[in-house]
C-alpha cells in the first residue's frame, strides 16, 4: 500500500467532485508501498494565480505524476470548458481546462 499524505481518506458530504477524488484516493492507495501519494497539495506560489491546488501528486522512483480529478462530465466548445455534475447539471464554465490546470501546477511544483 502506498504512503498516503494525508493518511486518511477525504470526507464528502454531497460534493460530487470530492466523491471522484475519494474514488481515486482509494485506487492510488493500492500502489506499491515505496510510492508516496500527496492529496490536495496546496500550491502557494503559482505562476499565474495567487494560489492553486494539485489534486494528487504521485511520487516514485520512476518519476512524479500530477493528477487533476474531475467528477461528472466535461466538454469543450469554442474554447470554453463546461463542467457538469453526473446528473448533467452545469456547474461551471471557464476558459481554463483540466490540462491547463495541471500544467500550471506542474511548473509551480517543479520550481
Reported as a single tens digit per residue, the pLDDT across 86-109 is 888 898 999 989 998 888 888 888
Given CA atoms 12, 37, 3, 30 in this order, what sign does their dihedral have?
positive
Q: 13 pLDDT band (50/70/90 cuts)?
A: low
Q: How big is the CA angle at 110 (ends 82 and 5), to the nearest 5 degrees?
A: 75
Break the chain into its structural domains and give their ranges. Answer: 3-110
pLDDT of residue 66 exceeding 90, the answer is yes
Q: What is the pLDDT of residues 20-62, one digit of tens each?
A: 889 999 999 999 999 999 998 888 766 676 667 889 999 999 9
Residue 44: per-residue pLDDT: 76
The residue among 26, 18, 29, 25 whose CA lies nearest residue 70 is: 18
Tally of CB atoms within 10 A around 21: 21
Please report which confidence band the pLDDT of residue 8 belongs to, taking 50, 70 and 90 as the band edges. confident
pLDDT, position 1: 95
* Exposed/middle/buried for residue 101 (C-beta within 10 Å: 0-12, 13-18, 19+): buried
Amino acid at each position: 500500500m502506498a504512503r498516503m499524505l494525508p493518511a486518511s481518506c477525504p470526507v464528502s458530504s454531497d460534493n460530487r467532485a470530492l466523491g471522484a477524488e475519494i474514488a481515486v484516493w482509494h485506487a492510488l492507495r493500492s500502489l506499491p508501498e515505496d510510492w508516496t501519494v500527496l492529496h490536495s497539495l496546496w500550491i502557494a506560489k503559482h505562476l499565474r494565480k495567487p494560489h492553486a491546488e494539485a489534486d494528487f501528486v504521485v511520487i516514485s522512483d520512476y518519476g512524479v505524476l500530477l493528477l487533476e480529478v474531475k467528477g461528472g462530465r466535461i466538454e469543450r466548445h469554442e474554447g470554453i470548458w463546461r463542467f457538469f455534475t453526473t446528473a448533467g447539471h452545469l456547474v461551471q464554465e471557464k476558459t481554463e481546462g483540466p490540462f491547463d490546470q495541471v500544467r500550471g501546477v506542474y511548473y509551480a511544483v517543479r520550481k
